[in-house]
Amino acid sequence: MQETLNPVLIRLLQKRGITSAMMNDMLSWDLKNIPDLTNMLDLAKASERIIRAIDNNEKIGIYGDYDVDGTTSCALLWHFFQMLGVTVDTVQPSRFIEGYGVHISSIDNAVEKGIKVLITVDCGISATATADYAVGKLDLIITDHHKDAAPHIPHAYAVVNPCRRDEPEDSVLRTLAGVGVAFALALQIKNDLAKIGREIPTLYPLLQFVAIGTISDVARMSPLNLRLTRHGLKQMTTTQYPGIRAFFSPEELKVSSISSEKIGFHVGPHINSKGRLDHPERALRQLIAADFTEAREHFSHLELANRDRRTIQAEVFAEAKQDVIDSLKSDELFINILYQPHWQEGVIGIVASKLVDTFDVPAIIFTDAEEEGVIKASCRTAGELSIFDQLEKCKEHFIKFGGHKAAAGLSMKKENFPAFKAQMISLMKEIPHSLRTKTSSFDVEVSLEEINAGLVKDLEKLEPFGPGNERPVFRMKNAQISSYRIMKDAHVKWSFGSKANLKSTLQGVSFNYLGKWNEATPEELFNLQTKAGLTVQFTLGINRFNGNETIQLMVEKLMPGQVN
């Protein structure tokens, strides 16, 4: 396998400690030899109950979180039951009314609709009170992938979660996103039906939803997730689902496979947009639309919502960033914990992520909840720090909390904010700087001459990118800015050459570069390079426009001189 790869890629994989055997596994598309997705506790029990409900014409409901993972999980199971000829109800809560998770009111609403079996997707592992309330009213089947942190596993009819406390710690299924667990449930039902002579079509097309949810939820790109998402991304160019096709222009579908970047920066944000501002149902309705006209109608609403979301997000981020700058002292910045009552709840997660990118430390952003005297927060980590583990040490302050190593959410009484903030800062001070700080790093150094179409083509073999398979960051020294121009008062388009080869140039872009914290302006960089070359850090991609393809550097950092 190594001989077929570009030499730069071989250097990259060797630096990441990937052996030949690991390389074959990492680049594999083989679905026949993946781990058994149905090897989870309660999965057979859940399948048996669902098949019984189908045979007895009992009403089934799918209850999903309002983010991309939850929405794609709902869509996946909706399409799966369509294969079985079964109509199911789909329900998602509002971020602003019910909030995250499955609630007692959710059970009451399901009972009113006559639902006998309610299946949660991407939520429920902490819903102990709701599970108790559901007993005798309906059968609650929980499918989730979040960390099992409640005092006990919910007393639901079945709880399917590879991260259950009684699942093996070394289970390879622990990396599955919520949509991956939903796919496993569908697979178990399909297998159980086959045992009694009831065959249904292949589930292969459903991997498209697995790909979108897994990438958007920033799940770890284990060899298992890499294979599942690769097959999902490849199918999207010829998808039979109108709701997925509606995200792309005809030009964007003229590729062999959709990129993880297109999912992460286009499809995911659009699915999330309505849920961040009001109710998420529009995105789900697009994903289950019966025809392309209906799907595009829903997508037009998502486009408007996404524009509004970007505007609100920019306003909140600018205010939050200024709050941090105003509070900076000579002391080291350990973590940013901010609260403003008027910040829009739907964007605080994105703002937290942008603050991490800006100041390189974890961020926890609070705003008012619907309930009087209660505030909610979105939390994002930096470096190797598990923000979930740190929050767990402070849980006496919270009404509820949950999440992962990298991201979490919580709610608490407003009066607890000062004590919580003080405790978190104290905890951060005890953690080594290298573990709680986002550092500027790169994978391999390249020359301008090594950047060519062959390298970019081989990079695509590593797709999809995500945690555990990060998009490679390259460093080029002795670079020269041939020219630059400002775009939309925020972005910078660069033309780069090298001191050794001024005739050869490469195009690059830095999005939202202007106004970046502690970064030199384009003019300053252009003037500084007269004394010394520049060191440029970037990822590589293809810019496709009007049928043309050109190599494009996605520039992350420019540093005067020769940085070691």
User: For the residues 336-365, what does the mean pLDDT come to?
Assistant: 94
Token output for 54: 């189908």
How do strand 115-121 and strand 89-91 relate by DSSP bridges? unpaired
Instruction: List the one residue out of 20, 4, 11, 7 whose CA is nearest residue 443.
Output: 11
Give the confidence band of 443 by pLDDT, cuts at 50, 70, 90: very high
Query: For residue 114, what is the domain's CATH number?
Result: 3.90.1640.30
Looking at the domain assignment, is residue 185 inside a domain? yes
409-431 CB burial, b ≥16 within 10 A, e <16: bbbbeeebbeebbebbeebbeeb
Q: Are residues 452 and 399 in the same domain?
A: no
Looking at the domain assignment, is residue 270 inside a domain? no
Q: Are residues 466 and 507 in the same domain?
A: yes
Residue with tokens 């449930």: 185
CA–CA dist 277, 271 (Å, integer): 12
DSSP codes, 33-79 = TS--TT-STTHHHHHHHHHHHHHTT-EEEEEE-SSHHHHHHHHHHHH
Point out the domain boundary residue: 229, 247, 276: 229
How do strand 548-560 and strand 534-545 relate by DSSP bridges? antiparallel
CA–CA dist 159, 119 (Å, integer): 10
Give the confidence band of 531 by pLDDT, cuts at 50, 70, 90: low
Query: For residue 420, what is the domain's CATH number?
Result: 3.10.310.30
At residue 533, the pLDDT reads: 79
Q: Are residues 78 and 35 in the same domain?
A: yes
Looking at the domain assignment, is residue 246 inside a domain? no
How do strand 474-487 and strand 534-545 relate by DSSP bridges? antiparallel
Q: What residues contact 246, with CB distance under 8 A and at least 6 apart?
A: 286, 289, 292, 295, 296, 298, 299
Looking at the domain assignment, is residue 251 inside a domain? no
Q: Which pTM was predicted?
A: 0.89
Model confidence pLDDT, tens digit, residues 319-342? 999 999 988 876 789 999 999 999
At residue 289, the pLDDT reads: 97
Give the confidence band of 378 by pLDDT, cuts at 50, 70, 90: very high
Q: Are residues 367 and 493 in the same domain?
A: no
Q: How many CA atoms lie within 13 A of 151 on its CB side?
A: 3
Tell me: pLDDT of 541 over 90.
Answer: no
CA–CA dist 280, 68 (Å, integer): 10
At residue 563, the pLDDT reads: 65
Instruction: Tell me the pLDDT of the chain averaged across its residues.
Output: 92
CA–CA dist 169, 416 (Å, integer): 34
Question: How deeply is 531 buried, as exposed, middle or buried, from its count of CB atoms within 10 A (0-12, 13-18, 19+)?
Answer: exposed
Contact between residue 525 and residue 508 where contact means Cβ atoms under 8 Å apart: no
Q: Are residues 395 and 505 in the same domain?
A: no
CA–CA dist 46, 468 (Å, integer): 31
Selected residue with higher pLDDT from 434 and 340? 340
Contact between residue 388 and residue 404 where contact means Cβ atoms under 8 Å apart: yes
User: For the residues 532-545, what does the mean pLDDT come to?
Assistant: 86
Q: Are residues 357 and 455 in the same domain?
A: no
Q: Are residues 387 and 484 in the same domain?
A: no
Query: For residue 468, what is the domain's CATH number?
Result: 2.40.50.460
User: For the residues 486-509, what does the mean pLDDT come to?
Assistant: 84
Model confidence pLDDT, tens digit, residues 135-149? 999 999 999 999 898
Looking at the domain assignment, is residue 238 inside a domain? no
At residue 330, the pLDDT reads: 62
Q: What is the percentage of the chain residues whose pLDDT exceeds 90?
A: 76
Contact between residue 402 and residue 378 where contact means Cβ atoms under 8 Å apart: no
Looking at the domain assignment, is residue 303 inside a domain? no
Point out the domain boundary residue: 196, 212, 229: 229
Model confidence pLDDT, tens digit, residues 268-291? 999 999 888 888 899 999 999 999
User: For the residues 79-86, what does the mean pLDDT come to?
Assistant: 97
Q: Are residues 450 and 420 in the same domain?
A: no
Tell me which residue range forms the domain holding 194.
Answer: 31-229
Strand partners for 479: 498, 534
The amino acid sitting at 220 is: R
Q: What is the percentage of the chain residues whose pLDDT exceeds 70?
A: 97
User: For the residues 284-301, what does the mean pLDDT come to?
Assistant: 97
Looking at the domain assignment, is residue 308 inside a domain? no
At residue 1, the pLDDT reads: 41
At residue 530, the pLDDT reads: 66
Token output for 292: 């392309």
Token output for 549: 């393809």
Angle at 230 between CA 284 and CA 40, to 5 degrees: 70
Model confidence pLDDT, tens digit, residues 452-476? 989 998 999 999 999 999 999 999 9
CA–CA dist 220, 230 (Å, integer): 14
Tell me: pLDDT of 2 over 60.
Answer: no
Residue 183 DSSP label? H
The amino acid sitting at 151 is: P
Q: Are residues 224 and 112 in the same domain?
A: yes
Q: Are residues 430 and 450 in the same domain?
A: no
At residue 225, the pLDDT reads: 98
Long-range Cβ contact pairs of 196-203 (< 8 A, separation 24 or more): 200/83, 200/84, 201/83, 203/80
CA–CA dist 555, 229 (Å, integer): 26
Point out the domain boundary residue: 177, 211, 229: 229
CA–CA dist 278, 404 (Å, integer): 25
Q: Are residues 181 and 52 in the same domain?
A: yes
Looking at the domain assignment, is residue 301 inside a domain? no
Quote the number of domains for the chain. Answer: 3
Token output for 498: 């090298």
Strand partners for 224: none
Q: Are residues 410 and 460 in the same domain?
A: no
